[in-house]
Amino acid sequence: ETGRCLRAPGTAEALWHLTTTWEPAQVADRLGEVGVPAVVIGGIDDRIVSLDAHHTAAEGLGAELHLLEGAGHAPHEQQPGVVAGIIRDFVTGL
């Protein structure tokens, strides 16, 4: 499914634009404005989003942080049961 989405017309150009123009600081400084409970789930082996960025996001949101061993940029695909459990527990605790 992910591969099909990435091959859609215009996707490569959009991703290139995003990765060459996006500044994490543009978002990080405003995370405290979100104002709703959040959970951040990432993979230890993510080669796109750094571990520091995951920590920054969780801290800025006041969110729980779950970094999954053996997962990369798509932990929801690589470990769907684990991610579902984290989300279930998070939502149950609201």
At position 79, the amino acid (one-letter code) is: Q
CATH number of the structural domain spanning residue 27: 3.40.50.1820
For the whole model, what pTM was predicted?
A: 0.75
Residue 6: count of CB within 10 angstroms of its CB:
10
Full domain range(s) for residue 7: 2-92
Identify the residue with better confidence: 85 or 7.
85
- 47-75 pLDDT, tens digit per residue, is 988 999 999 999 999 999 999 999 999 99
Are the C-beta atoms of 42 and 66 separated by less than 8 Å?
yes
Into how many domains does the chain fold? 1
Pair of tokens at residue 79: 């470990």
Phi then psi dihedrals of residue 68, to 5 deg? -95, 130
Give the model's pLDDT for residue 29: 84
Q: Are 2 and 77 in contact (CB under 8 A)?
A: yes
